[in-house]
Structure 1
Amino acid sequence: MPIRSMPTAPGATPRHYLMCEPVHYTVSYEINPWMDSTRATDTDLAVRQWRTLRDVYLDLGHTVETIEPLGGYPDMVYAANGALVVDGIVYSAKFRHPERAAEGPAYQKWFADRGYVTHTAAQVNEGEGDILVVGDVILAGTGFRTDRAAHAEMQDLFGRAVISLELVDPHYYHLDTALAVLSSDPASPQIAYYPPAFSRSSQSVLARMFPDAVIATDRDAAALGLNAVSDGLNVVVAPGAVDLAPAIRERGYTPIPVDTSELLKGGGGAKCCTLEIRPTP
Structure 2
Amino acid sequence: MSSDAPYRAATPRSYLMCPPEYFEVSYAINPWMRPDSPVDADLAMRQWSALRATHESLGHTVATIKPVPGLPDMVFAANGATVVDGIVLGVRFRYPERAAEAAAYLSWFRSHGYPAVHEARHVNEGEGDILVAGDTLLAGYGFRSDVEAADELAEAFGRRVISLRLADPRFYHLDTALCVLDATTAMYYPPAFDDAGRAALASVFDELIEAKDEDAEVLGLNAVSDGRHVVLARQATGLARALAGRGFEPVPVDMSELLKAGGGAKCCTLELREKTTP
TM-score using structure 2 length: 0.96
- Distance between the aligned counterparts of 2:22 and 2:201, measured in 1? 37
| Counterpart residue number, 2:130 | 131
Structure 1: gaps of 5 or more residues: 1-6
TM-superposed CA distance for 1:211, in Å, is: 4.5
- Distance between the aligned counterparts of 1:208 and 1:148, measured in 2? 20
Amino acid in the other structure paired with 1:131: I
* Correspondences of 1:177-188 after superposition (within 5 Å): 177-184=176-183
> Pick from 74, 77, 83: which aligns with 1:76?
74
Structure 2: gaps of 5 or more residues: none
> Pick from 233, 236, 239: which aligns with 1:241?
236
Name the CA shift for 1:9/1:275 in 2 (closer, same or farther; >3 Å). farther
CA RMSD of aligned residues (A): 1.1
Contact 2:14–2:271 (CA under 8 A) maintained in structure 1: yes
What secondary structure, in the 3-state scheme, does the structure 1 residue paired with 2:207 have?
Answer: coil
Contact 2:185–2:206 (CA under 8 A) maintained in structure 1: no
Amino acid in the other structure paired with 1:24: Y
- Distance between the aligned counterparts of 2:67 and 2:238, measured in 1? 34
TM-score using structure 1 length: 0.95
- Distance between the aligned counterparts of 1:211 and 1:280, measured in 2? 26
Amino acid in the other structure paired with 2:24: T
| Counterpart residue number, 2:139 | 140
| Counterpart residue number, 1:60 | 58
| Counterpart residue number, 1:118 | 117
TM-superposed CA distance for 1:226, in Å, is: 0.1
| Counterpart residue number, 1:102 | 100
| Counterpart residue number, 1:155 | 154
- Distance between the aligned counterparts of 1:84 and 1:206, measured in 2? 20
- Distance between the aligned counterparts of 2:107 and 2:27, measured in 1? 26
% identity of equivalent residues: 58
Q: Deviations over 1:188-244 (max 9, x none)?
A: x21100000011111121123324211111111001000000111110010111111
Question: How many residues are matched?
Answer: 272
> Pick from 265, 272, 277: which aligns with 1:277?
272
Amino acid in the other structure paired with 2:58: L
Amino acid in the other structure paired with 1:238: A
TM-superposed CA distance for 1:20, in Å, is: 0.2
- Distance between the aligned counterparts of 2:36 and 2:242, measured in 1? 36
| Counterpart residue number, 1:34 | 32
What secondary structure, in the 3-state scheme, does the structure 2 residue paired with 1:28 have?
Answer: coil
- Distance between the aligned counterparts of 1:245 and 1:279, measured in 2? 29
| Counterpart residue number, 1:219 | 214
Name the CA shift for 1:74/1:221 in 2 (closer, same or farther; >3 Å). same
Residue 257 in structure 1 maps to residue 252 in structure 2: yes
Contact 1:93–1:124 (CA under 8 A) maintained in structure 2: yes
Residue 49 in structure 1 maps to residue 47 in structure 2: yes
TM-superposed CA distance for 1:9, in Å, is: 4.8
- Distance between the aligned counterparts of 1:86 and 1:73, measured in 2? 26
